[in-house]
Structure 1
Amino acid sequence: MRKHFLLTLILSCIGLQGIAFSFGPPDYLPDGAHPRIWLNAAELSRLNAKQSASDADWVALEAWCDARLGNTADSNEGGISYDSGQVYWMGYRMNGYAEYLMNFGLAYQVLKDDNPSKAASYAAYLREILIEGIYKSLSVGEEYNGLNAIRPGERNGVTVNAGESAAIGTPLNSYKLGYSSRGIAAVPIVYDWIYDTLSPQDRLDLESMMYRWFDWIRGVRSSYNNGVLVSGVRYHEDRNGDCTGTNNCTDVSDKSTKAYTYGDMANNFMGGHAYLMSLIPVATYGSNPDAATYLSAYKSILTGTILEQVENDLKLSGGDTSEGWNYGSGWIYALPGIYGYYTATGDPLISGSAWPEELVHALVHRTGPDLVSVPIYGEWTGNTIGVHRRYPAYTFTGIHQRLNPSSQIGKVAQTLVDTVPFADTAPPLWVKTLWYQTDIDSAGFSTQPLSYLAKGTGFFTSRSDWDNSVGSIFSSIRLEGKSYSGHEVFDEGHFTIQRGADRLLTHENMNRASASHNTVVFNNSDHWASNPDQTVPAVDRVEDGLAYSYVSGDITNAYQRVWKTDKAKLFRRSMLHIRPGFFVVCDVTQSNSAAGNLKEWYTQYMADPTTSSDTITVTKGSSKAFTKTLYPTGGTFTETVPATGYWRVKYTPAVTQEYDQFLHVIEATDKNQQDMTETARIDAASGNMRGVFISDPINPDGSWVAMFSADKDGALVSEDVTYVVPADPGYPPYGYGPRHILVDLVPNVEYTFIAPKNKNVDQVFTLKAGSYPEEGRVYYASDSGVIATGRLSAPILLKNLTGETD
C-alpha cells in the first residue's frame, strides 16, 4: 500500500507544508512484505501463542512434520513422487502435495523465529517439493513447466486429437479438467510463506509455472502457456490458434479449451480454480513485472464471476451449495482464496460482502434437531453423509470470525465447532491449527431464528426449537429454480423431516433421479440440467415466527429446457410448518402434455412404511410420521425399495390430467402416538381456496386452519372467500378456537376476517377483500401474501394489524 502518511511527514519536514497534496483512493496492491496470504502479524502472534502453550493442534502438526521430513516416493505413506512426468496420486488429485506443502509451510512460519534451524530444514524440504517434485518432475514435453500438476482429470474435456495426445503423452479422454487446482493452490501460498528462502531463479521458475496454470485454466494462450515442445514440434492445447509452421493445433471444434466448468461457481471444480487464481497474483506481486497483468485479470474474475454469482439471488446467494455438503462443494476452497486476496490487498470487496457470513449461517442452520446431523443431499460417498464436515466448519467459521470478530453468528458457529462430534475424516492438520480459534466467545443456538433461507439455491430450513431434545423437529426444503450438471443430485422441490436423531422423510443418497426425492415426479423421469436462465428468484414468499414458518417457490424453471422437451409447464411448491410437528405441503402443477400428463407424489423413508386408503405411516427410532393425502382423492399408493435401507412410496392420482394440485399434511410425533391427529380438508364454499383443518383439542391454544389458493394456475386470491370449519372441541373451556393461516393472498392489501359468533356448531368464516371494521377484524396481508389470525404465541407475521388480539 502507498504510505501516504509517511510521505506527508517527510515533505513537512523539508519545509513543504504550504503545498497542498491530494491522493486518490487506495490502490489495494499486494505490495507488503511476505507473508501476505492469511498470516498477518495478529495471526502469527496467535500461532506463536499456540506453540508456546503446547496447544494440542500445534503439537500434532509439528510431530507430523518431524516424522515426514524428507519423505520421497519410497518413504512412509508414499511421500512425494519425483518421477519425471508422472502425477503421483498421493492423497487425491494433488492433495497429497497440498498436505505436505501446507503442513510444512505453516510449521515453518511458526518456527522460523524460535527454532530457525528446524525451520530452515522445513523450508529446504518445501523448496525441494516445489522445484524438484512439481516444477521439474511434473513437466510435459521437453521444457520444465509443471503442467502435469494441473492436468489430472477424470473424463470429458477432450482438447487434442489422438495423434497429438500420443505425442504429448496425455490420454485423449482424460485431460483438460483441472480438478487439481484446489491442491496446487498450496503452491502460491507456500511460495509466499517461504519467499525469503527462495533464490531469484527459484522464484522465476515458480512464477512462470503458476502463470501457465492461470492461463491454462482460463483457456488463454500466452508466453507462459505456449503449448508443449516434443521432438522440436510445439503442440498447442487450444483450438483455432496459430497452426502454421511447427505449431500443431487440434481439430477445429466448438469444445471449450478452458478448465472444466470454468466460470461456473456452482460447480466444485470452479471453487478450486477460484482458489488457485485468487492467490497467484498476490503471491508474486512485486517479484515479477507480469504479476500486475494477472492481478488485473483476477480482479475482473473476482467481481465479474466469483462475487457476481455468490452474491446473486438468481444464482448462489445465501451460502448453500447446489451440490450438497456431502460432496463438499468448492466453497471450502473459494472462500480461503478470496480471503487470501483480501489479507494481501486490504480490498474491501471481501470484507464488505455478505457471502462469508452467509456461509456460516447456512452451516449453522442446516444443523439438524439433534445439533449433530445435517440433511442428506449431494451424491458422493467419499465422505460420511448426513453429518457436519470438519473442513468447512473450521474454515468458514475461522474466516468469518476474522472478518467480523463481534459477529453473533460467529459465536454460534464457535459453539458448533466446539461441541459437535464430527464423524467424517479429519482434515489436514494445518486446517484446524490455522482456522480454529480458542479465544472466541461461544453463543448458544437459541440466539438464532427458527428458520433460514439461502435464496440463491432456495434452500430453506425450519425447526420447532433449538432445544436438542428427542422431540425437536427439523425440516429442510429446496426450492431452486435451476439445475446444474456436475455433482448436483437434481433435488428441486425435495424436502426432509427429522425428529431428534430420527430421519423420518429423507432420500436415497447417490441417486440422481428426481424419483428418489420427496417431490412431484413428472412422467416417471428425472429433470436433468440445461435450464434457461432465471429472471426472478424461485422463492418469492417466505415468513417466519414462533408459531410457524412458511415458504413458497415457483420451481418451474428447473423443469424447463434450453433444448429438448420441457418436463413441466408449472410447478409451485409451498410448505407451511406449524410448530412443533405439522407440515402442510401444497403443490400446484401443470404438465407439458406433449411429454405426457402423468404426475406422481413421491416420499421416501428409512424404515418400512405402512399405507392405508389415504395415509402413510412410518416409525423410525423413537419417532413416527404420518403423511396424509387430502387432495386429490381416490388415488393409489405404490411402495418400492430403491436401495437397501430405503423405502419409497408414490401416490398416483386416479385421473391423469394436465393440471393437478396436491395437498398433504405430515405430522412428526412420538412413536407411541397411535393415530394421526384428526385432519380434514376444507373446500371454500365460495371463492377459490382449499385447505386443511387440524383438530387439536389438547392444545390450549386451539386448532389450526390453513388455506391456500385452489386456482389451477396458483393465482393469488383477491375475491371474497367463505369456508366452513367443523365444530371444534378446542373452543372454551378448553381453548380459544382455531387459528387461521391464509396464504396466496395479494400482498400488502387489506382484508377483513369475519368470524362466527356461535362457537358450538360448524363455523363459517369469511375473508372479505377490503376494510370493513364494523364486520370483523381488518388485516393487511403481509409482503408474502399471508394473513394469520388467532392466538399465535407471538405478534408475528402480521403487518399493521387493526384491532385487539383474539
Structure 2
Amino acid sequence: MLRIKVSLKLIIIVTSLCAIIPFNQVLSQVKQEHPRIWLTEEKLAELKNRAERGVFTWQRLKSWCDEHINDPESDFLASPGYSTNFLKALNFAIAYKITQDQSYSSKALSIVKYAINNPPRGDLVDWFSYYNWYPSRYALPTIALTLDWCWETISESDRKLIMDKIRYACNGMLLEEDKLDWHQPGANHYLGDMWGLFCGAYVLANEPGYSDDAQRFLDYAKLMLDQSIKYTKGEEIIWENWGNNIGRAKGGMWDEGTGYGCVNNEMLFSSILATMSAENISYEGYEFPNEVIKFYCYAITPDGKQTYSYGDGAVGELDATVRLPIVITIAVASEEYKKFGQYWINHFTSNWTLHYKLYNEFIWYDDTLEEVDYSNYLPDHYFVEGGQVLFWRENWDNDATWMAFRIGLVNINHGHNGFGNFIIFKGNYLTRDTAVDLRRYEDYSDIYHNVLYIPLNQDRRMYWGASVIEHLKNTEEYLYFAGDMSNPYLSQPEYRNNTISHKEREFFLIKNQKILFIMDRGESFDPSYDKIFQMYVYAAPQNEGNFYRVSNGHSDLLFRSIYPDNSIITASELNNLPIVKISTPEQTRGKTFLTLLKVTSGGGQLVSSGVSIEGANLVGGIVRSEDGLRDYVVVFSNDIQGDPIQSNNFTISFDRFSNIIDLYVMNCPPSTQYYIKLTNEGAHTNITLSTSSLPDSFPVSSDSEGITYIRLNVTGEQQPVLPPSGIRID
C-alpha cells in the first residue's frame, strides 16, 4: 500500500539532564539535610496531616507495622534475591518518620543490618552477578531509604556500615555496566538499576569520604535517566539494541509489554521524584506521565475489569501491581491528568495493596485530590505510537464496543510478535488473546495471536526491524489504520531461515455500524508455506448461511470471507481456545484476504455480499446498515504489495440492498481526481471511476490517505434479502 509515514508531533520543553549537569562536576544541588529522597518538608507535612485525619492508607500501614514489629528479621528476606519481602522494612521507616516512634526505626534498621550481614549468596557484590536486577530494584532502595529516612536515629558506626555497603554495591553495579541490561532504557532491568543508583547516590552525597563516589554514581544514573526520557519521547538514544536506537515507549505503553511496563513506570517515576526532592529538578512539560494515564484510560475494557495486555506477564488484572505505579505516575503528571488519573484509580481499582507496597500507597495516594471524569474530554480513539497500538471505543459506557488494533514493534525480551493482532470486546471478549486468557506468557509467536499467519522455520521472538505505520485517519464516520509488517521478518538474522517476504494489514472500521474490514496481504519465499487469516474467538462459530456467528452470551461477532471466492473456513481449538482459520487450497507464494466482521447485539444479522470489479485489480464487499437504509461498499487494492491503484478507469458492480450507498475506494493515489459515473438496472448498480471526464459524470478526489469517498442516492429497485441457508463449516 502507499507508504505514508504517520508523524505525531509533540513539543517537550524538558532540557536534557546531561546538558544541565556535566559529568565529573561536583553537584551542589543535592540538599544537605536528610531526608533527601521523596520526603520534602511539604510532603512530610502532607503525610502527617493524613495520619492525623486517620486516612485508610495510614491506618492500614500502622496496624501492619504494629502487627509485624516482632517478626524475626529473617522473614523479611524469605523470597529469593532480596525480593519484595525486603521492601516491607520501609513500612517501618515511614511509620517512624510520621510518629517519631523509634521502635519503628529500630525495626527498619534491624532488618537492613540483618540483610547486610546475611546476604543470600556471598557479599553484596554477588547480588548483581547472580540475582541480576532484584537487588538493585529492591535491596539498594530499601537500604538507602531506611538510612535516609531514619538518619537521625542511626549511630555513626551503623551509618558507616550501611554507606560502605551502598558504595560497594553501586561500584559492583557499575562493573556490570557493559552488559546489555544497562543499555536498554525500555527494560525493567535497566530502570531498576537506575532507581537503585539514584537511591544509593543521594544518600552518599555530601557525606565526607563518600561524596566523590556519589557524584560518579549520580553521573551515570542521570545519564540513564536522560536516555530513559528520550526513550519515552521516541527520540534517539546512544545505545543500539538489535539494530535500533529509537525510543519505543512514546504514548504510555512500553515495548516490553504492559505487565513489565507497570514496573517500568514505577521505577522511572520513582527516580524522577527522587531528583525533584533531592535537587529540586523540574520536569515541567514532560508529557510521558500524561501519556501513561491516557493509555490506561483507553486500555481498560468497558466493563472496567481489566486492561489491554501485551507481553510476558501480561494479564491485565487491576491489582496493586497496576494501581500503585499509576498512583506514582499521578504525582508527576500535569494538573489535568492528575485528576483524570485519580478518577481512573478511584473507579477501577481498590484502595488496597500488597504489604510490601503499603509505604508507597500511603506516601503517594492523595485522598484529597479532585477526580475528573475524563470521558467528557477524551476522543473515541488513542494511538500509542511507541507500541503501534490503536484503541477505539464506541463510547465511554460500560456496555460499549471496544477494539484494539496492533501493527506492532518488538525490541525487548518480554515483547510478543503478533504483528497485526486485534482484540474486540463488547460485554466480554469476542476475539481473544492466548497470553491473557490462558496466562501463557511465553506464547509470543504469531500463531498465538489474531494475525495473518505464515509459518516460520524458527517461530521465535523477533528483536530486529520495525513495522511501518502507513495510514492512520479517524473521522466521524470511520477509522482507518494500516501498516507494513514485513521488516521485522526480513531483518531476522540468516540463521533463523525466515520464510516471509511480505506481510501487511489494513483495518477499516465503519464506526456507527461496528463493521470492520480487514485486508491482508502475505507472501512467502516458498509457496509451500501457507497464508492463513486466523483469530481466536470466545466460542465456537455457528453457521448462519453466508456468515458465521460467535456469541459471548452478551453480544455477537458476525464474520465472513469476502475474498478469495474459494476460501475455506475451518473452526477448531488450539490450547483449549476456539480458533477460526481462513485460507485457500492452492500453494502460491502470495495470498490476499478480505474479511468482514460486525459486532451486534445478540441475534443481529449480517447482510452482505462481494462486488465485481472490472478494469483494476481490486477486491471489495457490500454490507447493509443495521437499519437497512444504507449500503456500505468498500474496495481495496488486491496488489500483493498493496501499491496504489494504477488503473485510470474501472467499474465496480453489485446488487444493492438499499438506495443510499456510501462508497469507499481504498489505496488510491493520494489527492487524485476521479470522475464518477453511476448506472442502474433495477437493483444492479455500476459505478465507474475514471481519471478522465466521462459523460454524465461528476468529479471527486481521493484524500491524503488515498481514500476516495462519496455518498450516492440511488432510486429504483433494491435487492431482496434472502433468508439464511445452511452451508458447511469444516
For residues 330-382 of structure 1, the C-alpha deviation after alignment (integer angstroms, 9 at most, x for no partner) is: 3332332233233333334x44432222111111111112233323543438x
1:182 is displaced (CA, Å) by 2.2
Sort the Cα spacing of 1:389 and 1:656 in 2 relative to 1 into closer, same or farther, 3 A: farther
8 Å CA contact retained: 2:446, 2:459:
yes
Corresponding residue for 1:279?
A: 199
CA RMSD of aligned residues (A): 3.3
Corresponding residue for 2:79?
A: 89
Question: Does the alignment pair 1:590 with 2:523?
Answer: yes
SS at match of 2:197: helix
Question: Does the alignment pair 1:457 with 2:400?
Answer: no
Structure 1 residue corresponding to 2:292, chosen from 359, 366, 382: 359
- Bigger helix fraction: 2
Distance 2:430 2:312 in 1: 18
8 Å CA contact retained: 2:266, 2:329:
no
For residues 745-781 of structure 1, the C-alpha deviation after alignment (integer angstroms, 9 at most, x for no partner) is: 444x243463637696433334555999995354461
Structure 1 residue corresponding to 2:224, chosen from 301, 304, 310: 301
Distance 1:769 1:276 in 2: 64
Question: Does the alignment pair 1:754 with 2:676?
Answer: yes
Corresponding residue for 2:51?
A: 51
Letter paired with 1:765: I
8 Å CA contact retained: 1:607, 1:647:
yes
Alignment of 1:284-363 (within 5 A): 284-287=204-207, 288-289=210-211, 290-304=213-227, 307-308=230-231, 311-312=234-235, 315-326=248-259, 328-348=262-282, 350-363=283-296
1:665 is displaced (CA, Å) by 1.0
Distance 2:51 2:181 in 1: 41
Sort the Cα spacing of 1:422 and 1:67 in 2 relative to 1 into closer, same or farther, 3 A: closer
Structure 2: stretches of 5+ with no match in the other structure? 1-18, 22-26, 236-245, 713-730
SS at match of 2:480: strand
1:31 is displaced (CA, Å) by 3.0
1:393 is displaced (CA, Å) by 3.2
SS at match of 2:625: coil
Corresponding residue for 1:765?
A: 687
Distance 2:363 2:547 in 1: 52
Structure 2 residue corresponding to 1:631, chosen from 549, 556, 563: 563
For residues 209-266 of structure 1, the C-alpha deviation after alignment (integer angstroms, 9 at most, x for no partner) is: 3344334344359xxxxxxxxxxxxxxxxxxxxxxxxxxxxxxxxxxx73x7332244
Question: Does the alignment pair 1:80 with 2:9?
Answer: no
Structure 2 residue corresponding to 1:607, chosen from 532, 539, 542: 539
Sort the Cα spacing of 1:547 and 1:299 in 2 relative to 1 into closer, same or farther, 3 A: same
Percent of aligned positions that are identical: 18
SS at match of 2:678: coil
Structure 1 residue corresponding to 2:639, chosen from 691, 699, 711: 711
- Aligned residue pair count: 664
Structure 1: stretches of 5+ with no match in the other structure? 1-23, 82-87, 152-174, 222-256, 732-736, 792-806
Structure 1 residue corresponding to 2:553, chosen from 613, 616, 621: 621
Corresponding residue for 2:623?
A: 694
Distance 2:157 2:462 in 1: 47
Corresponding residue for 1:393?
A: 323
Structure 2 residue corresponding to 1:671, chosen from 586, 602, 611: 602
Distance 1:760 1:339 in 2: 70
Letter paired with 2:158: D
Letter paired with 2:687: F
SS at match of 1:298: helix
Structure 1 residue corresponding to 2:418, chosen from 491, 494, 506: 491
8 Å CA contact retained: 1:682, 1:691:
yes
Question: Does the alignment pair 1:193 with 2:193?
Answer: no
8 Å CA contact retained: 1:624, 1:669:
yes
8 Å CA contact retained: 2:702, 2:709:
no
Letter paired with 2:428: A
1:291 is displaced (CA, Å) by 0.9
Sort the Cα spacing of 1:304 and 1:761 in 2 relative to 1 into closer, same or farther, 3 A: same
Distance 2:535 2:229 in 1: 36
Distance 1:497 1:211 in 2: 51
Sort the Cα spacing of 1:342 and 1:540 in 2 relative to 1 into closer, same or farther, 3 A: farther
**Deviates further, 205-214 or 296-305:** 205-214
8 Å CA contact retained: 1:502, 1:621:
no
Structure 2 residue corresponding to 1:178, chosen from 133, 137, 140: 133
Sort the Cα spacing of 1:70 and 1:423 in 2 relative to 1 into closer, same or farther, 3 A: closer
8 Å CA contact retained: 1:751, 1:780:
yes
Sort the Cα spacing of 1:746 and 1:338 in 2 relative to 1 into closer, same or farther, 3 A: farther
Question: Does the alignment pair 1:418 with 2:346?
Answer: yes
Sort the Cα spacing of 1:712 and 1:293 in 2 relative to 1 into closer, same or farther, 3 A: same
Question: Does the alignment pair 1:785 with 2:706?
Answer: yes
Question: Does the alignment pair 1:522 with 2:443?
Answer: no
Letter paired with 2:133: G
Corresponding residue for 2:511?
A: 579
1:538 is displaced (CA, Å) by 2.5
Corresponding residue for 2:613?
A: 684
Q: State the TM-score, normalized to the length of structure 1.
A: 0.75
1:495 is displaced (CA, Å) by 1.0
Sort the Cα spacing of 1:773 and 1:542 in 2 relative to 1 into closer, same or farther, 3 A: farther
8 Å CA contact retained: 1:373, 1:501:
no
Corresponding residue for 2:575?
A: 643
1:785 is displaced (CA, Å) by 3.5
Sort the Cα spacing of 1:340 and 1:774 in 2 relative to 1 into closer, same or farther, 3 A: farther
Structure 2 residue corresponding to 1:549, chosen from 475, 479, 483: 479
Corresponding residue for 1:147?
A: 125
Distance 2:673 2:587 in 1: 36
Sort the Cα spacing of 1:505 and 1:754 in 2 relative to 1 into closer, same or farther, 3 A: farther
8 Å CA contact retained: 2:248, 2:254:
no
Structure 2 residue corresponding to 1:213, chosen from 145, 159, 169: 169
Distance 1:201 1:306 in 2: 38
Q: State the TM-score, normalized to the length of structure 2.
A: 0.82
**Deviates further, 276-285 or 56-65:** 276-285
Distance 1:424 1:572 in 2: 44
SS at match of 1:546: coil
1:727 is displaced (CA, Å) by 4.5
Distance 1:361 1:515 in 2: 30
SS at match of 1:262: helix
